[in-house]
């Protein structure tokens, strides 16, 4: 979600796998209105041990707008009416203050745990980013997952990667008119799905009694959805998240 939306630059465009976006009208970047301390945030779906956060700037002449901003990580949702000063003063929220002007890509080192990530400008301005990647590993029962020490939610390639596991989901066909088949590739599985429209509204939600995995595909009926671009957020069995873009014709 984000504090406001300019044009068609909705929040999910910062986690659609496109790191070179330039415009909220194509659209291929998230984009807020001009306002005081605009923000964008994402729910990772579960607590993670976070090592780094990568931010990919807008790839055109307006990239200098991404400057003097905070990146927050929290185990709990950010309070709806919290001011920037309240967030920076909260000892339970990790805060990285980037004081300069962002380049094409910035990697911010974190050593913290959390589920919710927010990027917020320090003052008046417009917040727009092509992509945000969160690198780390899920926490299970109060400790890091024993299956991997190198797992991360990679929105750049839309692939969950570990030293042992490569997992991907294909949407066939895409674009689609009525029914799309969800095909898993590799090891691991998905246990839930949430579908968001271009305005960030939840329009479909499914839980898989038997995980979506290689050799065990699912068919999703989407004929009632309006034409447009949708973000499919999969919850994986290990607690991590995964996103794919679906075009409805």
- Backbone angles phi and psi of 14, in degrees to 5: -85, 0
95, part of any domain: yes
Most confident region among 19-28, 85-94, 147-156 by mean pLDDT:
85-94
**Residue 196: which CATH number?**
2.60.40.2550
Number of domains present in the structure of the chain: 2
Quick one: 51 and 93 in the same domain? yes
CA atoms within 13 Å, Cβ hemisphere of 206: 20
Quick: pLDDT tens for 220-229: 999 999 998 8
Separation between Cα atoms, residue 69 and residue 82, nearest integer Å = 16
Q: Of 81, 109, 143, which closes a domain?
A: 143
Q: Which residues pair with 98 in a beta bridge?
A: 69
148, part of any domain: no
Separation between Cα atoms, residue 138 and residue 146, nearest integer Å = 10
Instruction: Tell me the whole-structure pTM to 2 decimals.
Output: 0.61
Of 14-23, 98-107, 144-153, 194-203, least confident by mean pLDDT is 144-153
Quick one: 138 and 107 in the same domain? yes
**Residue 43: which CATH number?**
2.60.120.260
167, part of any domain: yes
DSSP letter, residue 65 = G
The whole-number average pLDDT for the span 11-35 is 91
Quick one: 34 and 111 in the same domain? yes
Quick one: 86 and 136 in the same domain? yes
Quick one: 61 and 90 in the same domain? yes
Quick one: 124 and 91 in the same domain? yes
Q: Which residues pair with 95 in a beta bridge?
A: 72
Max intra-chain CA distance, the chain: 51
Quick one: 36 and 127 in the same domain? yes
Answer yes or no: is pLDDT of 94 > 80: yes
The whole-number average pLDDT for the span 109-130 is 95
38, part of any domain: yes
Separation between Cα atoms, residue 223 and residue 88, nearest integer Å = 45
Strand-pair category, 202-212 with 241-248: unpaired
Q: Which helix (H) or strand (E) covers residue 87, if one does?
A: helix 84-89
Quick one: 191 and 135 in the same domain? no
3, part of any domain: no
82, part of any domain: yes
177, part of any domain: yes
pLDDT band at 53 (very low <50, low <70, confident <90, very high): very high
Residues in Cβ contact with 175 at an 8 Å cutoff, skipping those fewer than 6 apart: 247, 248, 249
Q: Of 143, 176, 199, which closes a domain?
A: 143
Quick one: 26 and 135 in the same domain? yes
Strand-pair category, 35-36 with 124-125: antiparallel
Quick one: 176 and 109 in the same domain? no
Quick one: 137 and 16 in the same domain? yes
Peptide bond into 175 cis (omega under 30): yes
Range of the domain at 200: 158-248
Quick one: 164 and 113 in the same domain? no
What tokens appear for 37 in the block? 């301390």
1, part of any domain: no
Q: Of 143, 170, 195, which closes a domain?
A: 143
For CA atoms 140, 143, 149, 150, the dihedral sign is positive
* Res 55: pLDDT: 95
């Amino acid at each position: 979600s984000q504090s406001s939306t300019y044009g068609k630059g909705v929040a999910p465009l910062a986690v659609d796998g496109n790191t070179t976006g330039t415009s909220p009208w194509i659209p291929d970047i998230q984009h807020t209105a001009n306002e005081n301390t605009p923000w964008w945030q994402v729910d990772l779906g579960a607590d993670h041990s976070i090592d780094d956060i990568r931010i990919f700037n807008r790839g055109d002449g307006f990239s200098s707008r991404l400057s003097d901003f905070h990146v927050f990580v929290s185990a709990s949702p950010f309070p709806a009416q919290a001011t920037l000063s309240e967030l920076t003063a909260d000892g339970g929220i990790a805060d990285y203050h980037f004081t300069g002007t962002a380049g094409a890509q910035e990697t911010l080192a974190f050593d913290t745990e959390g589920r919710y990530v927010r990027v917020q400008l320090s003052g008046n301005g417009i917040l727009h980013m092509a992509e945000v990647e969160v690198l780390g590993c899920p926490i299970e029962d109060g400790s890091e997952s024993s299956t991997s020490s190198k797992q991360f939610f990679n929105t750049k390639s839309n692939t969950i990667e570990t030293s042992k596991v490569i997992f991907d989901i294909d949407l066939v066909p895409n674009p689609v008119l009525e029914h799309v088949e969800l095909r898993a590739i590799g090891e691991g599985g998905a246990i839930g799905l949430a579908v968001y429209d271009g305005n960030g509204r939840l329009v479909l939600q499914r839980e898989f009694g038997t995980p979506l995995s290689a050799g065990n595909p699912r068919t999703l009926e989407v004929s009632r959805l309006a034409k447009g671009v949708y973000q499919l957020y999969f919850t994986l069995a290990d607690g991590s998240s995964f996103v794919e873009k679906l075009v409805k014709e």
